[in-house]
């Protein structure tokens, strides 16, 4: 076979024509198909001409790529599914210590839509239609961006490993004005904590005081505690940097309680000692959305709504506006979220007069812009600032009068 011309041939045990040609330095072999219909061509004399046309079509794609046309998609790449790419991404993230519950949840949503699709079928237009559909399902643009980010990462890794040759162009939706501004007052968060399961009470209090991310808190082990401080390991930190939190005041009391809860008595009488500071019967704390939603609803900072119309639900889980009845797990939660605790910590530190640089070391923010986005000031803080400015102006005015008299 000439590298430039390719060939049409038959294979033992196959009833179809096959074609062979060179692309990217390797011989590609695939079943010959009708150029227009895509039907496989059976090895009969009257089909040979169609097989040769398909061969010329594939050779034309190879030449077009060399001259700046669309990337050539070989037969092996045609078989790769988006699910295959997501599997590779999961393995890569696990290898780099980047896999967590939140990423797992996001990947599941992408797999739900595209898991069985061939990678070549996930075009830019298809992804754009999916973004619109998610908006219609009332997903926020920021959430849609997280889904698309995972999809893009999967394709990028596929390109790096030469599993695919094309990547859909995915438009990033604007998140301006989409920033959450949820905060807890001191009484609100204390109320939520009283309604949480025992294994979550100190976990949430630690998040409220330090602003540490939930995945980071879950990773904390007793080996990370050194005298009067606790150190977050760099491999468990989102920004890849170690972070040390001094155990002062309420944090010191919190850690002492966790020490008492470290030992778990088993049914057979043996005692399990947890290596994790915060744990659920000795194991890493898993997903707790239901427990969080229940506590927030009982504390009056969250509510369960109808998944169809967003209407209010009565005590029997019946939607008043549309009259539908649901099970508890079918209802949608709306209200404060765990990540709001991070904003609370940032604002509380600044309000207490802590320098921003020190506050950022505690919360783990790497850039000033992101910290300022979290440390949103309240109306009361703005009012206090205006009062202080007024006092300052009055003092300046009094000084000016004294100067004129002299």
3-state secondary structure of 186: helix
What lies within 8 Å, CB to CB, of 266 at 6+ separation is 272
Show the tokens assigned to 330. Answer: 């079918």
Q: For residue 83, which of 104, 112, 105 has the smallest C-alpha distance?
A: 112
Strand order in the sheet with 26-31: 7-10, 17-23, 26-31
pLDDT of residue 269: 83
Cβ count within 10 A of residue 258: 20
Distances 50 to 11, 13, 87, 287 between C-alpha atoms, Å? 17, 21, 37, 56
For the stretch 74-117, pLDDT in tens is: 666 677 899 999 999 999 998 888 888 788 989 999 999 999 88
Task: State residue 348's pLDDT score.
Answer: 85
3-state secondary structure of 306: coil
Sequence-distant (6+) residues with CB within 8 A of 340 are 180, 182, 183, 184
Q: Could you give the angle at the alpha carbon of 200 between the alpha carbons of 204 and 370, nearest 5°? A: 25
Low-confidence ranges of the chain (pLDDT < 70): 1-4, 65, 67-77, 176-181, 373-382, 385, 401-406
Residue 4: the pLDDT is 67
198-210 helix and 186-194 helix, angle to the nearest 10 degrees? 160
| pLDDT at position 193 | 96
Token match 């923010």: residue? 365
User: Which residues, 6+ apart, have CB-to-CB distance to 205 below 8 Å?
Assistant: 193, 250, 254
pLDDT at 198: 95
Cα–Cα dist 382/172, whole Å: 33
pLDDT at 97: 80
From residue 379, give the alpha-carbon distance in Å to each of 59, 208, 386.
67, 20, 11
Q: DSSP characters for 89-109?
A: HHHHHHHTT---HHHHHHHHH
pTM exceeds 0.75: no
- How much is the pLDDT for 70? 59
Mean pLDDT of the chain: 85
């Amino acid at each position: 076979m000439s590298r430039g011309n390719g060939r049409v041939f038959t294979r033992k045990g196959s009833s179809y024509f096959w074609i062979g040609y060179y692309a990217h330095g390797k011989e590609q072999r695939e079943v010959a198909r009708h150029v227009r219909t895509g039907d496989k061509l059976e090895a009969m004399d009257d089909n040979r001409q169609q097989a040769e046309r398909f061969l010329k079509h594939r050779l034309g794609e190879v030449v077009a790529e060399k001259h700046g046309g669309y990337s050539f998609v070989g037969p092996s790449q045609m078989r790769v599914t988006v699910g295959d790419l997501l599997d590779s991404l999961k393995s890569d993230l696990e290898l780099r210590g980047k896999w967590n519950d939140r990423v797992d949840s996001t990947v599941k949503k992408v797999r739900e839509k595209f898991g069985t699709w061939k990678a070549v079928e996930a075009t830019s237009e298809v992804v754009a239609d999916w973004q619109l559909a998610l908006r219609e399902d009332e997903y926020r643009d920021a959430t849609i961006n997280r889904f698309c980010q995972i999809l893009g990462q999967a394709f990028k890794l596929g390109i790096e490993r030469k599993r695919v040759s094309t990547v859909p162009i995915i438009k990033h939706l604007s998140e301006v004005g989409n920033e959450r501004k949820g905060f807890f007052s001191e009484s609100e968060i204390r109320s939520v904590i009283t309604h949480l399961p025992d294994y979550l009470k100190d976990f949430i209090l630690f998040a409220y005081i330090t602003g540490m991310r939930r995945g980071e808190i879950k990773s904390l082990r007793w080996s990370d505690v050194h005298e009067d401080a606790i150190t977050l390991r760099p491999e468990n930190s989102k920004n890849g940097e170690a972070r040390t939190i001094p155990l002062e005041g309420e944090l010191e009391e919190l850690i002492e309680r966790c020490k008492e809860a470290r030992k778990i008595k088993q049914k057979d009488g043996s005692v399990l000692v947890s290596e994790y500071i915060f744990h659920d019967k000795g194991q890493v704390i898993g997903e707790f959305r239901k427990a969080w939603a229940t506590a927030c609803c009982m504390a009056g900072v969250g509510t369960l709504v109808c998944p169809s119309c967003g209407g209010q639900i009565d005590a029997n889980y019946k939607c008043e506006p549309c009259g539908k009845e649901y099970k508890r797990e079918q209802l949608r939660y709306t209200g404060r979220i765990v990540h709001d605790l991070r904003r609370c910590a940032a604002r509380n530190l600044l309000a207490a007069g802590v320098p921003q640089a020190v506050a950022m070391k505690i919360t783990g923010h790497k850039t000033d812009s992101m910290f300022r986005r979290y440390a949103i000031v309240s109306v009361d803080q703005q009012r206090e600032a205006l009062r202080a400015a007024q006092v300052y102006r009055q003092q300046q005015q009094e000084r000016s009068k004294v100067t004129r008299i002299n």
